[in-house]
Amino acid sequence: MSSEMTTQPQYYHDEIVKRLVQFSVAWAVLAMAAGVFVAAELLWPTLDMGQPWLSFGRLRPLHTNGIIFGFGVSALMATAFYSVQRTSHVPLFAPKLAWFLCYAWQLLVLSGGLSLLAGMNTTKEYAELEWPFDIAIALLWVSFGIVFFGTISRRKIRPIYISNWFYGALIIVIAMLHIVNNLELPVTWTKSYSLYAGAQDAIVQWWYGHNAVGFLLTGGFLGMLYYFLPKHAGRPIWSYKLSVVAFWAFTYSYIWAGPHHLHYNAIPEWVQSLGMVMSLVLLAPSWATLINGVMTVSSAWEKLKTDPALKFIVLSLAFYGLATFEGPMMAIRSVNVVSHFTDWTIGHVHSGALGWNAMITYGTFYYLMPRLVGTELYSKRLANVHFWLALAGTMLYIIAMWAAGVSQGLLWLSLDETGELAFGFRDIMSSMAPYYGLRLLAGLIFLGGTLLMAYNFYMTTRSRKTVKVEPPVVDPAFGVV
Amino acid sequence: MNALKLHKKLEENNALLIFGILLVSSLGGLVQVLPSVYQESLRTPEANTRPYSALELAGRDIYISEGCSTCHSQQIRSLVAEVERYGPYSRAGEFVYDRPFLWGSKRTGPDLHRVGGKYSDDWHRIHLVDPRSVVPTSIMPGYPWLAEKDLRSDDIQAKLRGLRSLGHPYSDEEIENAPAQLEGRKQIDALIAYLQMLGTGFVEPESGAGDSSE
Ligand code: HEM
Ligand code: HEM
């Protein structure tokens, strides 16, 4: 890495970042609208109007894939590209490839979504897309890695900042999981059979499924946290050492926890027990990060009053703490007996998804968008309204699903004095309607807030150009030789 | 603090960091997942478990394509109440011909692992087209198009051959005759054939407890 002295100025490639943020917001709106629609279908099952592509079983995977791969991954790419440039003090490596990735990824999510509606589906959760898409995902993921690690290897500053390890782990581990879990034999252009069968397929799938949550929905977004939280708060991360230890503990222990999705299922007992123990262990690195985050903002409480973006991020930390506490509890076999297969799981998912993933992303976007175009946010008031809508929507969603899930779980299991089942399945099903109604309302509120944000960004960036930012000159003492 | 020194190296070297992450994150999979993939007992069928017939396989693929598994599990846990409600708990050996597995993660509807033989074909036909005509409070979607659309028969041989290459024991004759089994039928016929064979791969030894009833 020689420091060639070029005279013509080099700028950060922030246009790509802006475009990815815009795509991410668009996917958030679309995929959450799909979530609201499937929530409504559980109340009014004839909403699909006899149309196959509006049917619950096809739309639900569209909701999860659209949100995770459209909204989530676009947001992660945007923030990874923004922060890796600034922590390396160089523009993106291979910007043309980055632009290609930016658009090709959207095309992939769009066509993949349409294929789900057409009934192409492997049913392996969060890996529902069929084999042609699996190959495309793998190739695009490699280009993500090339751009990201390429930028790091050209960096002008010696240490690789902590946020980049989390983004790096996202890229590497998801690649490994994706390839292994999707090994399948194509039999036609639209259909394949998994190379694993039955119980083995289940074990591989949940090794993937849990760690897609771990390294994408948790680890990837922790990368976002480690860069943008200190930026927002205007002070460095509270303990760098703690973040180092937490990173390696996290990377090591997450991988083992998958079998907590298969308690009391037809897989070996030792695999389940190991999964449970490692899930409890996971609490430690998860909360180490929580503590680090809270301590970092603890001296910036003043800013909280005026900065809606920071409010979102601090709230997201609270929900991160909740979801990573609840998760290990649900991984205990005797608790899982009640929670498994019920709406409790759905509540847990969305406490993480809405409270943690969506909120931290919103907070980050509120920080980014005005800066990218060099102006103030169009309306701080709207952003504050959005904050309260997001909080209300999330709380209502979680509470409704807890109530639904715990009662479902207990009623399914309850036996009367003679040892017979106390309640029929259909009676329990019918009693869920009020909770599903509340969840629908919660979804509408949350979606409403997201629409406000989209409008706010539109007004902020309308007819404005992305500002050009030059990397700063690096003090040779810290630079790469 | 030797560990931190080692870390300092990692933190300043891109390639080492990549390698470190790969190493640390693959340990769990190697120790926990890999042995399961080679474990014989997870690949040995139960005495009564057989590969799906051409019609059942086509039905299973419709079940997959419609996403029935987003609402229905096929996994009876080894719990008293569960055995009481659905029947004998699920054995690993019953799933050896399942690609992919369809155990599910959410029970909006009841478990279907032992639904085979529980209802008549006609009941399923009516229920699938319009669930509320037999269960007035049902929140299951209707599938009217399954009763109208013809079953494809042009891809079944490729499917059976593919599965044979993965070790499912189909004979040349079965593959030869497969399209004829599907021709002239509707999609719903295949789906019902699949539903009716679910859970029949396991027969409880004579004195077994846990008889299933409503
Ligand atoms: C220490 C951290 C965590 C642990 C130990 C954990 C544990 C669990 C457990 C035990 C389940 C229920 C499995 C079942 O009964 O089927 C579950 C489901 C789930 N969790 Fe977590 N959780 C953690 C954090 C998170 C976070 C932060 C998110 C972020 C969104 C999340 C997303 C999910 C999802 C999407 C599912 C549903 C999977 C499915 O069935 O489709 N989890 N988790
Ligand atoms: C407006 C907001 C949202 C609404 C109304 C909504 C609604 C729903 C509904 C109705 C389901 C199906 C539940 C069931 O089968 O019983 C679902 C599942 C799911 N949603 Fe959402 N959702 C929203 C936002 C999100 C977000 C932001 C994420 C991720 C970041 C997310 C991730 C998921 C996942 C992973 C599942 C599958 C859970 C499982 O299989 O256990 N959702 N959602």
A444 in ligand 2 pocket by Cβ < 6 Å? no
Which token pair is B74? Answer: 């096929």
Crossing angle of helices A240-254/B14-28, nearest 10°?
40
Q: Mean of the per-residue pLDDT values for chain A?
A: 94
User: Could you give the CA distance from residue B27 to residue A135 in angstroms, rounded to a whole number?
Assistant: 25
- Exposed / middle / buried, residue A481 (Cβ in 10 Å: 0-12, 13-18, 19+): exposed
In this predicted structure, what is the pLDDT of residue A7? 54
Give a yes or no: residue A356 inside a domain. yes
User: Could you give the CA distance from residue A476 to residue A467 in angstroms, rounded to a whole number?
Assistant: 27
Pocket test for ligand 2, best of A349, A394, A395 (most atoms within 8 A of CB): A349
Give a yes or no: residue A27 inside a domain. yes
Which token pair is A265? Answer: 């299922």
Q: Which of A420, A264, A412 is nearest to B89 (CA)?
A: A264
- DSSP state, A421? B
User: Could you give the CA distance from residue A43 to residue A103 in angstroms, rounded to a whole number?
Assistant: 37
With cut-offs at 50, 70 and 90, classify the pLDDT of residue A112.
Answer: very high
Instruction: Tell the residue number behind the tokens 């109530």, with chain if given.
Output: A403
**Domain segments of chain B: what residues?**
41-197
Using a CB-CB distance cutoff of 8 angstroms, which residues of chain A are in contact with residue B68? 57
ipTM of the complex: 0.93
User: Could you give the CA distance from residue A99 to residue A19 in angstroms, rounded to a whole number?
Assistant: 9
With cut-offs at 50, 70 and 90, classify the pLDDT of residue B206.
Answer: low
User: Could you give the CA distance from residue A209 to residue A339 in angstroms, rounded to a whole number?
Assistant: 18
Residues with Cβ < 8 Å from A51, sequence gap 6 or more?
none
Q: How far is the CA of A265 from the centre of ligand 1 (A)?
A: 17
What single letter denotes the amino acid at residue B57? L
Helix ranges restricted to H, A298-357: 301-306, 308-331, 333-339, 343-350
Using a CB-CB distance cutoff of 8 angstroms, which residues of chain A are in contact with residue B12? 158-160
Q: Are residues A252 and A146 in the same domain?
A: no
User: Could you give the CA distance from residue A281 to residue A98 in angstroms, rounded to a whole number?
Assistant: 37
Residue nearest ligand 1's atom 23 by CA: A327
Global confidence as pTM: 0.95
Q: Are residues A411 and A311 in the same domain?
A: yes
Give a yes or no: residue A196 inside a domain. no
What single letter denotes the amino acid at residue A401? M
Q: Are residues A148 and A248 in the same domain?
A: no
Q: Are residues A160 and A223 in the same domain?
A: no
User: Could you give the CA distance from residue A157 to residue A137 in angstroms, rounded to a whole number?
Assistant: 32
CATH of the domain at A334: 1.20.210.10
- Exposed / middle / buried, residue A214 (Cβ in 10 Å: 0-12, 13-18, 19+): buried
In this predicted structure, what is the pLDDT of residue A476? 62
With cut-offs at 50, 70 and 90, classify the pLDDT of residue A477.
Answer: low
Reported as a single tens digit per residue, the pLDDT across A287-338 is 999 999 999 988 778 888 888 999 999 999 999 999 999 999 999 999 999 9
Crossing angle of helices A95-117/A131-153, nearest 10°?
160
In this predicted structure, what is the pLDDT of residue B172? 96
B73 interfacial to chain A (CB closer than 8 Å): yes
CA atoms B177, B179, B184, B190: torsion sign: positive
Q: Are residues A287 and A397 in the same domain?
A: yes
Give a yes or no: residue A146 inside a domain. yes
pLDDT of B73 strictly over 90: yes
In this predicted structure, what is the pLDDT of residue B10? 77
- Mean pLDDT across B116-125: 96
B131 interfacial to chain A (CB closer than 8 Å): yes
* Cis, bond preceding A186 (omega within 30 deg of 0): no
With cut-offs at 50, 70 and 90, classify the pLDDT of residue B203.
Answer: confident
DSSP symbols for B155-214:
SHHHHHHHHHHTT----HHHHHHHHHHHTT-BHHHHHHHHHHHTTTT----TT-------
In this predicted structure, what is the pLDDT of residue B211? 47
Which token pair is A195? Answer: 């190379």
Reported as a single tens digit per residue, the pLDDT across A180-207 is 999 999 999 999 999 999 999 999 999 9
Q: Are residues A335 and A272 in the same domain?
A: yes
8 Å CB contact of A413 and B4: no
Q: Are residues A224 and A339 in the same domain?
A: yes
- In chain A, the percentage of residues whose pLDDT exceeds 90 is 88
Q: How far is the CA of A64 from the centre of ligand 2 (A)?
A: 6
Overall number of domains in chain A: 2
Ligand 1 atom with the shortest distance to the CA of B106: 40
Give a yes or no: residue A65 inside a domain. yes
User: Could you give the CA distance from residue A27 to residue A32 in angstroms, rounded to a whole number?
Assistant: 8
In this predicted structure, what is the pLDDT of residue A8? 64
Domain span holding position A158: 12-164
Contact A193, B43 (CB under 8 A): no
Which CATH superfamily, name and number, covers B41-197? Cytochrome c-like domain (1.10.760.10)
Contact A390, A358 (CB under 8 A): yes
Which token pair is A453? Answer: 């944000």
